[in-house]
C-alpha cells in the first residue's frame, strides 16, 4: 500500500504508526495531530528506529495538514479526549463525536476511497459518528474494539494455563465495555475446549477481568492503555493491506445479522482488501443471544443520544 494515515499522535496513535512501520505495511505512514510538534516529533523518533529495526516505511508527522494524507488506502482514527471528572456521558460523546466528525471529513476529502478504522472512545458510538461523517458503505467504516478485547481475554487465559497466547483461540462479541459478550463455548487452546482446561469459577473471573480490562490499566497507570490497542488496530490494518481474509471481531454495522439492525456492534468479520468482506454468523444459544441483545440496546441508546445532538444535519 502506498500510504496509511493515523489521526491522533497520542500514545495509541503513535503505537499504531510504529507497528505499521515495523511491519512495512505501506511506503509511508502519515501521523496527524492538532498539537504543533507532537506528530512531527513522534514520527521522527519512529523513523530513526528504522535502521535498527530494519524497516523502510517512511514515517511523516504533520500538524493539521490533511493534504499530506492524500491518497491514503487506510485511515486509523484515534483522536478524542478521555472522560474527565464530573463530565457526563453525553458531554464526552458530543465532544469526541465532534472531533471524529471533523477529522473524518477532512481526511476523506483527500482520500475518498480509504477504509476507516475507529479507535476513539466511546468506541461503538464513535464508529457510528465516523460512518455518518464519511458518507461511504458501512463495510469501509468499522471499529477496533473486539480485536483488543479478544486479545486481553486470550492473554488472561494464557496466563491461567501457562501456555503460549498464540495457541489460545477465542471470540468476544458485543459492545466495547461492560456489556461485551465473551463466549467460552467458542474458546479453545489448539482445539481443546477451554472448558476442559479451566473450571467455571476461574473462567468467570477471567471474563469479568476482561470486561474491566481497560479500567484495570487506568487504575494502574492513571491513563488509558496504548500498546495492546495500538497492536490491535495495526493487526486490522495488516489484514486489509495483505488481503488476508482474517476472521477478526470488529465493531460492524449490523443489517439483520443476529436479528439486529442499524446498530454498530462487535461481531466476527472476515477482513480483507475491501474492509469487512463478510460478517460471520455463528450459532448462539438463548443466553448468549440475550446478552448480545442487551449489549446492542446499550449501544443503541448511545447512538440515539448522538442523533439527538444533531451534529450531522
Helices 89-110, 286-309: axis angle to 10 degrees equals: 80
Here the cell at position 59 is: 514515517
Segments making up each domain of the chain, as ranges:
3-144, 146-308
3-state SS assignment for residue 276 = strand
C-alpha cell at 217: 490499566
64 SS3 class: coil
Handedness of CA 153, 158, 164, 168 (dihedral sign): negative
Cβ–Cβ < 8 Å for 5, 69: yes
Q: Is 176 a catalytic residue?
A: yes
List the chain pLDDT tens, one digit each, 313 residues: 899 999 999 999 999 999 999 999 999 999 999 999 999 999 999 999 999 999 999 999 999 999 999 999 999 999 999 877 777 878 899 999 999 999 999 999 999 999 999 999 999 999 999 999 999 999 999 999 899 999 999 999 999 999 999 999 999 999 988 889 989 999 999 999 999 999 999 999 999 999 999 889 989 998 889 999 999 999 999 999 999 999 999 999 999 999 999 999 999 999 999 999 999 999 999 999 999 999 999 999 999 999 999 998 7
Q: Is the dihedral of CA 145, 148, 154, 159 positive or negative?
A: negative
User: How many other C-beta atoms can be found within 10 angstroms of the C-beta atom of residue 245?
Assistant: 12
CA neighbours closer than 13 Å in the CB half-sphere of residue 111: 25
Catalytic residue from among 22, 54, 169, 176: 176
- Which class in CATH covers the domain with range 3-144? alpha beta
pLDDT given at position 284: 97
Detail the DSSP E strand segments found in the chain.
3-7, 28-33, 58-63, 74-77, 115-118, 141-143, 168-169, 172-173, 181-182, 188-189, 192-193, 246-255, 261-272, 275-279
User: May I ask the CATH architecture of the domain 146-308?
Assistant: Alpha-Beta Complex (3.90)
pTM: 0.96
291 grid coordinates:
446478552
Amino acid at each position: 500500500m502506498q500510504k496509511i494515515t493515523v489521526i491522533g499522535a497520542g500514545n495509541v496513535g503513535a503505537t499504531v504508526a510504529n507497528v505499521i512501520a515495523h511491519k512495512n505495511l505501506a511506503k509511508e505512514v502519515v501521523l496527524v495531530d492538532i498539537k504543533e510538534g507532537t506528530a512531527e516529533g513522534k514520527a521522527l523518533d519512529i523513523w530513526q528506529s528504522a535502521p535498527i529495526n530494519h524497516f523502510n516505511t517512511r514515517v511523516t508527522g504533520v500538524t493539521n495538514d490533511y493534504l499530506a494524507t492524500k491518497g491514503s488506502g487506510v485511515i486509523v482514527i484515534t483522536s478524542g479526549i478521555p472522560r474527565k471528572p464530573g463530565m457526563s456521558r453525553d458531554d464526552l460523546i458530543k465532544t469526541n463525536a465532534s472531533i471524529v466528525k471533523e477529522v473524518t471529513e477532512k481526511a476523506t476529502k483527500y482520500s475518498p476511497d480509504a477504509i476507516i478504522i475507529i479507535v476513539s472512545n466511546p468506541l461503538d458510538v464513535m464508529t457510528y459518528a465516523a460512518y455518518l461523517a464519511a458518507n461511504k458503505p458501512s463495510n469501509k467504516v468499522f471499529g477496533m474494539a473486539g480485536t483488543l478485547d479478544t486479545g486481553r481475554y486470550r492473554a488472561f487465559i494464557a496466563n491461567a494455563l501457562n501456555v503460549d497466547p498464540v495457541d489460545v483461540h477465542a471470540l468476544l462479541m458485543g459492545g466495547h465495555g461492560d456489556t461485551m459478550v465473551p463466549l467460552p463455548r467458542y474458546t479453545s487452546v489448539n482445539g481443546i475446549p477451554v472448558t476442559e482446561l479451566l473450571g467455571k469459577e476461574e473462567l468467570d473471573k477471567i471474563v469479568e477481568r476482561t470486561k474491566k480490562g481497560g479500567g484495570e490499566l487506568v487504575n494502574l497507570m492513571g491513563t488509558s492503555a496504548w500498546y495492546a490497542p495500538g497492536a490491535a488496530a495495526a493487526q486490522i490494518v495488516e489484514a486489509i493491506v495483505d488481503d488476508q481474509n482474517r476472521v477478526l471481531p470488529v465493531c460492524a454495522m449490523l443489517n439483520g445479522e443476529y436479528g439486529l439492525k442499524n446498530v454498530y456492534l462487535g461481531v466476527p468479520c472476515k477482513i480483507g482488501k475491501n474492509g469487512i468482506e463478510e460478517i460471520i454468523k455463528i450459532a448462539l444459544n438463548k443466553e448468549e443471544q440475550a446478552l448480545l441483545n442487551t449489549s446492542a440496546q446499550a449501544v443503541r441508546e448511545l447512538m440515539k443520544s448522538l442523533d439527538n445532538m444533531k451534529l450531522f444535519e
